[in-house]
Amino acid sequence: MDTGRTAAEGGGMTATPVPAFQPPYVMAVFTSIRTPGDSGYPETLARMAELVREVPGFLGYESARTPGGLGITVSYFRDHEALARWRREEEHRAAMEQGRRDWYESYTLHVGTVERSHGFDRDA
């Protein structure tokens, strides 16, 4: 399954969660505080969303930004090797460097293995 969902940047857009997957799988939680201004950020973000879908083992992502500026993106991969492939991807590496240089005041990355996953959908 290949899915990507972006939640509202500060509100106004409805979204649905990425579905639960059969564990184990890997998640990468990227939290950030942005610098002022865009300087190419939206275009690069769109390109990364397109590019990550090509990574074998990519399952999906969810992303949101609070009105106060905290951004959270949770990306899901079938295994650690799939995440490593994404980390090694050249355009992604260039975007990471530009992020440290231009777009982020600070960020944190947490990586973990999901051992349990389930979901609920009232309309299902």
Task: Give 46-72 pLDDT, tens digit per residue.
Answer: 999 999 999 999 999 999 999 888 999
Q: What is the pLDDT of residue 123?
A: 82
Residue that has been written with the tokens 């231009």 in this structure = 102
Structure tokens given for 47: 């390109």
99-116 average pLDDT score: 96
Range of the domain at 43: 25-114
Look up the pTM and report it.
0.85
DSSP secondary structure letters along 30-81: EEEEEPSS-TTHHHHHHHHHHHHTTSTTEEEEEEEE-TTSEEEEEEEESSHH
Residue 15 has pLDDT above 80, yes or no: no
122, part of any domain: no
96-105 average pLDDT score: 96
19, part of any domain: no
29, part of any domain: yes
Q: What is the CATH number of the domain that holds 109?
A: 3.30.70.100
- Which letter, b or e, does each residue of 58-77 get, where b requires 16 or more Cβ atoms within 10 Å of its Cβ? bbbbbbbbeeeeebebbbbb
59, part of any domain: yes
15, part of any domain: no
- Domain count along the chain: 1
* Strands across the sheet containing 58-65: 5-9, 58-65, 70-77, 25-34, 104-114
72, part of any domain: yes
120, part of any domain: no
102, part of any domain: yes
